[in-house]
Amino acid sequence: MANPSLLILPGDGIGPEVMAEVRRVIDWFGANRGLTFDVSEDLVGGAAYDAHGTPLHDDTMAKAQEVDAVLLGAVGGPKYDDLDFSVKPERGLLRLRKEMDLFSNLRPAQCFDALADFSSLKREVVAGLDIMIVRELTSGVYFGEPRGIHREGNERVGINTQRYTESEIARVARSAFDLARKRSNKVCSMEKANVMESGILWREVVQEVHDAEYPDVALTHMYADNGAMQLVRAPKQFDVIVTDNLFGDVLSDCAAMLTGSLGMLPSASLGLPMANGRPKAMYEPVHGSAPDIAGQGKANPIACILSFAMALRYSFDEGAAADLLEGAVEKVLADGVRTADLMGPDGGTPVGTTQMGDAILAALDAG
Ligand code: NAD
Ligand code: IPM
Ligand code: MN
């Protein structure tokens, strides 16, 4: 059988820096576990704009549709702030998500034991935390029409539209319930049904899908503003959270700080099954291009490396390999190896991106 194919899109800022460490991890699995991928690399975001005048070339889009999985670093940066909206780096990422129809974005927030004192919250609030935010990724206010900035009389008006169809809500709800069945069988759905009609529909449809197909899963509903507060007050009350595109974006950054650093959070964006049975998929860290530290070799590569672990698990059925990689990350953190974003109460000297990669490879060798 042909090797599974991976398209790597490092992107901008720290994207290429953290992706270089992922490539070493991929090579390690090829050399040591006979897990070989056909890897190709291409441009996205500002890097693609610089080369082609567009944040995602049509050829790259076509390649992304064909491969078994895409791995993306990060896009964006101040250099591109003044570009026309239509060619901003972020549009490249949004086009990938939309055209691949990656409607279910899994954003796990797990607090590794060694980092329980590193969160801005107390140890007892976060120790042992393991939650999964399922963010709807292809609809809602990110894509709704009408949108734009236009003139009304003497002033400009900015418009975006929150729009959800029943089927869009139902399919992301199903993916949350399916995941919950493999975890603690508990889903909390978050919206603003108190002020938004799309929120009322969201709540109704999630409840209907539950009652008809997943009565065994414990389902609760919460307003998203309360959800943000509860995530900080007592995050361990949650198992799976399902929410819309914009709330999911904000709540997952919030959840990141429960784990110690945004540099720790991976994600999987999944769509419908392809002809080979694998879901359409893209894996990317939750963080962005971190312009404030780009080019300094100090970014934490763990979010991107753990995104590859999610690829092993969700695209390639390689759960044991994913466990091995996650175990290596856990061991390195337990040994006190820290990038600069993880400088917490135990002090120490930070290592750079490459040294963190070295430590993870050494842990893989040892383990
Ligand atoms: P950001 O996530 O890039 O950075 C926020 C803060 O977290 C910064 O202080 C940064 O240094 C730190 N940080 C992030 N990742 C880190 C890592 N791996 N190691 C150590 N520290 C890390 O968010 P921002 O500053 O709001 O956005 C910068 C650019 O990135 C913008 O253009 C934005 O649109 C883009 N962005 C892209 C993605 C993506 O590609 N998926 C996600 C978020 C933001
Ligand atoms: C994320 C990012 C993106 C989003 C941007 C860069 C388009 O913040 O993946 O969390 O808002 O979805
Ligand atoms: Mn975000």
Confirm whether 142 is a catalytic residue.
yes
Q: How many contiguous H segments (helices) and E segments (strands) does the chain have?
A: 12, 12
348: pLDDT confidence band, cut at 50, 70 and 90? confident
Q: Residue 346 CA to chain centroid, in angstroms?
A: 28
Residue 303 has pLDDT above 70, yes or no: yes
Lowest-pLDDT choice from 33-47, 177-191, 255-269: 255-269
- Cβ count near 351 (within 10 Å): 20
User: Considering the entire predicted model, what is its pTM?
Assistant: 0.96
Domains, the chain, with CATH or none: 1-106+265-367 (3.40.718.10), 130-257 (3.40.718.10)
Ligand 2 site-directed mutation target among 93, 139, 284, most atoms within 8 Å of CB: 93
pLDDT of residue 345: 67
pLDDT of residue 367: 82
DSSP SS3 for 130: strand
Q: Which atom of ligand 1 is nearest to the CA of 292?
A: 11
Confirm whether 192 is a catalytic residue.
yes
Q: Residue 355 CA to chain centroid, in angstroms?
A: 24
Query: 90: annotated binding-site residue?
Result: yes
Give residue-wise pLDDT tens across range 73-130. 999 999 999 999 999 999 999 999 999 999 999 999 999 999 998 888 999 999 999 9
- Cβ count near 263 (within 10 Å): 26
Phi first, then psi: give them for residue 217, nearest 5 degrees: -90, 135
Residue range 336-349: mean pLDDT, rounded = 84
Residue 347 has pLDDT above 90, yes or no: no
Q: Residues 12, 42, 68, 192: which is the catalytic one?
A: 192
Write the ipTM.
0.98
Tokens 């609760």 sit on residue: 220
Q: What own/partner pairs with CB < 8 Å and gap ≥ 24 does 249-255 have? A: 249/135, 251/133, 251/135, 251/190, 251/224, 251/227, 252/107, 252/109, 252/133, 252/135, 252/286, 253/286, 254/228, 255/107, 255/109, 255/131, 255/133, 255/231
CA atoms within 13 A of residue 75's CA, in its CB half-sphere: 28
Give residue-wise pLDDT tens across range 235-247. 999 999 999 999 9
